[in-house]
Chain A
C-alpha cells in the first residue's frame, strides 16, 4: 500500500508538470493581452507596449516559461498582473468559501440522495421509486441558476429569512457563515443529489439481485437491516467514486452558483482571471486544480480498500 501511495504521488508530479506545460502553451497561443486590459479603454499603442515591457510579456515563450518554472521550484506561483497580489494569497482568500460551499453541498447531496437512492432500489418499480426518480430527473433538468433564483425569491425576498448573496467567514460566527451557504448549497446540491440518487439506485439494485441478499432474506433478516448493512455497503464503490469525482467538479465548477450568490470562490477567481488574461493566476489555479483532482482520486482509490476487502494495492 505504501509503495502504491508513493508511486501515485510520484505520478502526480508528472501530471502537474504536463498540465503546467500545456496550460502555459495554451495561454501563450490564446488571443488576448493583459497589457491592453491594464491600460484601459483610453490608451495608445505606445502605452500598451510600455506596459507589456514592464510586465515582461514581450519576452520569448521559452524565457517566460523558464522564469515561471524556476519560481515554481521556489514555491512561488507568481504575482497577479492586475492586483499585484501574490497568486497564493488570491487562492488562499478563495479556499475557505470554496471548501465551505463544497462541504455543505456534499452534505445536502449525500444526506438526501443516498437514502432516496436506496429506498428507490428497495421499492423498485413502485410509486415511491417513480416519485424519487421523478425528483432525480427534475434535479438534472433544472439549471442551477433557475433553482437559485427560485430559492432566493422564496427564502430571501418573500420570507426574508436567508440572505440573497455574499459570504461570511466562519470566524464571524457559525450562523452568519451557515446562513450564507444554505441557499447556494441547496441550489448546487440538487443537481448533485440527483446524480448520486440515480447511481445509488442502480448500484443497490445490482447488489439486491445477488445470492447473498437472497440468503439474508431467507434467514429472516429485517428488510432495513439487509438494505443498510448488506446491500448499501457493497454498493458503496460506485457511489464513493461518483462522490469523489463530484468533489473535484464542485471545486472547479461552481462558477454559476458562486456568481449568482456572489460568493468569492475559486471558480469565479478562475473565470475572472481568464477574462482579463491574468496569466499567473490562471496557471496557479489550474495547477492547484490538477493537484486536487489527482489527490482526490488517490483518496477514492484508497477508500475502496475499506469498502471491499478484496481490493489490495
Chain B
C-alpha cells in the first residue's frame, strides 16, 4: 500500500507542480506593478502622425517621438530636443543645436539630416508647416548637431510652428523613414522619444505595448505639458482599447486598468463611489464643439441664414448635451479656445445676446428661404457629434425650417461631407464635430476659420476678408499686435460665421489612486507617471 502511495506521489508531485506553475504563476503577472495599463480614447490604427490628424495617432507620436520645441502650460514655446538656438538680428536666420545624447530607438544618433527630412515631410501636410515652408528659403545642416533655417522674410511663428502641440505635431523621425511620401503611411515606429513601441505585440483593435526607452535623456526641467523632462517611471505601458465604456469602467474599478483617458460623463457617479479611483479633469483647455455649414448650396450659402441659427443657439444646451453636467463644460463665445491668450468676446453678441426667435425668423424670411431641405448628417457612434446634431435639428425645427437628420456612422459622415453635391444628390447642409483646445489657440492653427474656398475645410467657405485678416495675423510683430489681429479675425468670423462654436467641454479622466505624477495638459502624457 505504501509503495503504491509513494509511487503515486512520485508521479503526482511533479505533475501537480507543473499544473500549478502553469495555472498560477505566469511571468507577466509577476511584473504587474511596473506595468501601466492605460485605456486609450480610441483604437490606434495608423502609426504615422504626419499622414493623419487623428488624435490617437498624435498621442502615439508623443510616446515614441520627440520634438524640437514644445509648448508649456504658460503657452510658451520651450526647447525640447534643441539645446540652444540663436536668431539673427534681421530675424531671417535661425541656428539650432541639438542636445547631447539624443538617439533613435535603433541606436542611431539623431542628426541634423533627420530633423530636416522630418520637418520637410511635416510641412507638406500641416497648415502651419506649409505657412513656415512658404516663408522658408532653405534648411541646411552645418554638422550633425547644428542646422540652420534661412527665411525669405521674418516669420514670427517659427517657434510656434516647431513647437505646435497638436495635429500635426512636427515629430522628429530618422531620415530613412522621413523620406517617405507625405501621403503614404509610415509603418516603422522608430523614434527618439521616451517610449519604444513593441510592434510585434501590437494587436490593432485591442492593445499597443510600449516599453521605457532606457537610452532617452530627459531634460532637467520639470515637465509642463509637452515640454520639460520626460522621465519615464514605469517599465512598460499596455495601451488598451476597450470599446465598451461600461467594461472600461468596470476594468478601472476592479484594478485591471490603471488609467482611463476619457470617460463619458454619465459614468462619473458610478466611479466617484470607488475610493480607489479618482475622477479628475486634467485637461485645462477642453474641446470645442461646432456647427459647420455647407457654403456651396442653399440655404446656408446665405449669411442671413447662418446668423439666424447663431441668434437662437443656446450654448448652455450644448454644454449639457455633450458633457451631461455643467461642471464639465461651459459656453465659450470665442473662435479661439477660452482661457487662452487670444480668446476674447469681440463680436460675440450674436451668441451671447438675447435668444430671439422672432428676430431669427424675420431674418430667415429676409434671406429668401424657400423651404429648401436642410440635411444634417450625423454619426450615432460619436456621442459628441450625435448630441449636437439632435440639438441643432430641434433648433432648426423651432425656426420652422425644413430639416432632416440623416444619421449613419462616423465613417459614412466623414466620407459624405466630402461631397460638394446638393442635398438631393447625396450632399449635406450641416455637420457637427469638435476640436481639442490646442487646435483652436489662434488664427494660425484654427483651420476651420479659414475662408479660402475650394482649399478650405469641408463646407468650403469663401471670404477674402477673413483670409486677409488671417494673413495680417502672421505679419504681427509682437504679442500685443497678434492679439489685436486675432480679435479682428474673430470679429469678422462672427459676421461671416464659417462655423458656430457650440460649447467648450471636458471629458473627465479616471485613474487609480496608486498613480501619481499625472501631468495636467490638453492631452494625456504618460511620462512622469508613477505607479505604487
**B418–A33 contact, CB under 8 A?**
yes
Report chain A residues within 8 Å CB of B415. 31-33, 36-37, 277
A51 close to B (CB within 8 Å): yes
Residue on A nearest B46 in the bound complex, by CB: A82
**A83–B22 contact, CB under 8 A?**
no
**B183–A45 contact, CB under 8 A?**
no
Residue on B nearest A262 in the bound complex, by CB: B242
Of A32, A40, A46, A54, which is within 8 A of B412 by CB? A32
Of B26, B47, B54, which is within 8 A of A173 by CB? B26
**A42–B167 contact, CB under 8 A?**
yes
A230 close to B (CB within 8 Å): no
What is the CB-to-nearest-CB distance from A85 to chain B, in angstroms, rounded to a whole number?
Answer: 7
A82–B183 alpha-carbon span in the complex (Å): 13
Report chain A residues within 8 Å CB of B458. 45
B29 close to A (CB within 8 Å): yes
**A166–B411 contact, CB under 8 A?**
no
Report chain A residues within 8 Å CB of B254. 156-157, 160, 163-164
A85–B410 alpha-carbon span in the complex (Å): 23
Per-residue 0/1 for A119-158: is the Cβ within 8 Å of any B Cβ (1 yes, 0 no)?
0000000000000000000000000000001001000110
Per-residue 0/1 for A83-122: is the Cβ within 8 Å of any B Cβ (1 yes, 0 no)?
1110000100100000000000000000000000000000
Report chain B residues within 8 Å CB of A48. 418
Of A42, A152, A157, A168, which is within 8 A of B447 by CB? A42
**A45–B454 contact, CB under 8 A?**
yes
A269 close to B (CB within 8 Å): yes
B204 close to A (CB within 8 Å): yes
B284 close to A (CB within 8 Å): no
A264 close to B (CB within 8 Å): yes
Report chain A residues within 8 Å CB of B167. 40, 42
B341 close to A (CB within 8 Å): no
B455 close to A (CB within 8 Å): yes
Residue on A nearest B253 in the bound complex, by CB: A157
Report chain A residues within 8 Å CB of B187. 84
B2 close to A (CB within 8 Å): no
**B433–A41 contact, CB under 8 A?**
yes
**B242–A165 contact, CB under 8 A?**
yes
Of A33, A84, A149, A165, which is within 8 A of B251 by CB? A165
A82–B52 alpha-carbon span in the complex (Å): 10
Report chain B residues within 8 Å CB of A166. 240, 251, 256
Of A43, A172, A260, which is within 8 A of B53 by CB? A43
A32–B447 alpha-carbon span in the complex (Å): 24
Report chain A residues within 8 Å CB of B409. 275
Chain B stretch 415-459: residues in CB contact (< 8 A) with chain A:
415-416, 418, 433, 435, 439, 447, 454-458
Report chain B residues within 8 Å CB of A47. 125, 183
**B244–A262 contact, CB under 8 A?**
yes
- Most central of A42, A51, A259 by chain B CB within 10 Å: A42
Report chain A residues within 8 Å CB of B181. 54
Per-residue 0/1 for A22-47: is the Cβ within 8 Å of any B Cβ (1 yes, 0 no)?
00000000011100111111111111
Residue on A nearest B420 in the bound complex, by CB: A45
Of B19, B184, B203, B246, which is within 8 A of A93 by CB? B203
**B125–A262 contact, CB under 8 A?**
no
Chain B stretch 248-302: residues in CB contact (< 8 A) with chain A:
250-251, 253-254, 256
A313 close to B (CB within 8 Å): no
A277–B413 alpha-carbon span in the complex (Å): 12
B477 close to A (CB within 8 Å): no
Residue on A nearest B57 in the bound complex, by CB: A40
B8 close to A (CB within 8 Å): no
Known: A36-B414, A164-B256, A261-B247. A80 touches B455 (CB 8 A): no
B28 close to A (CB within 8 Å): yes
B143 close to A (CB within 8 Å): no
Chain B stretch 177-201: residues in CB contact (< 8 A) with chain A:
181, 183-185, 187
A21–B24 alpha-carbon span in the complex (Å): 49
Of A50, A175, A272, which is within 8 A of B205 by CB? A272
Report chain A residues within 8 Å CB of B202. 83, 85
Chain B stretch 44-78: residues in CB contact (< 8 A) with chain A:
45-47, 51-54, 57
A201 close to B (CB within 8 Å): no
**B247–A260 contact, CB under 8 A?**
yes
Residue on B nearest A261 in the bound complex, by CB: B247
- Most central of A41, A43, A166, A175 by chain B CB within 10 Å: A41
Residue on B nearest A39 in the bound complex, by CB: B52
**A85–B204 contact, CB under 8 A?**
yes
Report chain B residues within 8 Å CB of A222. none
**A80–B256 contact, CB under 8 A?**
no
**B22–A173 contact, CB under 8 A?**
yes
Report chain B residues within 8 Å CB of A174. 19, 22-23
- Most central of B53, B183, B207 by chain A CB within 10 Å: B183
Known: A40-B54, A41-B433, A174-B22. A165 touches B247 (CB 8 A): yes
B43 close to A (CB within 8 Å): yes
**B256–A264 contact, CB under 8 A?**
no
A172–B447 alpha-carbon span in the complex (Å): 48
A47–B52 alpha-carbon span in the complex (Å): 10
A198 close to B (CB within 8 Å): no
- Most central of A38, A48, A51, A269 by chain B CB within 10 Å: A38
**A262–B247 contact, CB under 8 A?**
yes
Report chain A residues within 8 Å CB of B383. none
- Most central of A93, A172, A262 by chain B CB within 10 Å: A262
Report chain B residues within 8 Å CB of A262. 206, 240-244, 247, 251
B356 close to A (CB within 8 Å): no
B25 close to A (CB within 8 Å): yes
Report chain B residues within 8 Å CB of A277. 411, 415
Report chain A residues within 8 Å CB of B28. 172
A82–B46 alpha-carbon span in the complex (Å): 6
What is the CB-to-nearest-CB distance from A198 to chain B, in angstroms, rounded to a whole number?
Answer: 30
A276 close to B (CB within 8 Å): yes
A39–B185 alpha-carbon span in the complex (Å): 10
B381 close to A (CB within 8 Å): yes
Report chain B residues within 8 Å CB of A168. 26
Report chain B residues within 8 Å CB of A33. 414-415, 418
Report chain B residues within 8 Å CB of A164. 247, 250-251, 253-254, 256
7 shortest interchain CB distances as A-B pairs = A264-B206, A40-B53, A175-B23, A42-B53, A82-B45, A173-B26, A33-B415
A–B complex contacts, Cβ < 8 Å, 27 sampled: A36-B414, A36-B415, A39-B52, A40-B52, A40-B167, A43-B457, A47-B125, A48-B418, A54-B183, A84-B47, A149-B246, A157-B253, A163-B254, A164-B256, A165-B242, A165-B247, A167-B206, A173-B23, A175-B22, A175-B24, A261-B247, A262-B241, A262-B251, A264-B205, A268-B243, A272-B204, A277-B415
Q: Which residues of B contact A (CB under 8 A)?
A: 19, 21-26, 28-29, 43, 45-47, 51-54, 57, 125, 167, 181, 183-185, 187, 202-207, 240-244, 246-247, 250-251, 253-254, 256, 381, 408-412, 414-416, 418, 433, 435, 439, 447, 454-458
Beyond A38-B51, A163-B256, 14 additional contacts (C-beta under 8 Å) are A31-B408, A32-B415, A36-B414, A41-B54, A46-B455, A54-B184, A164-B247, A164-B253, A164-B254, A166-B251, A172-B26, A172-B28, A262-B242, A277-B415
Q: Which residues of A contact B (CB under 8 A)?
A: 31-33, 36-48, 50-51, 53-54, 80, 82-85, 90, 93, 149, 152, 156-157, 160, 163-168, 172-176, 259-262, 264, 268-269, 272, 275-277
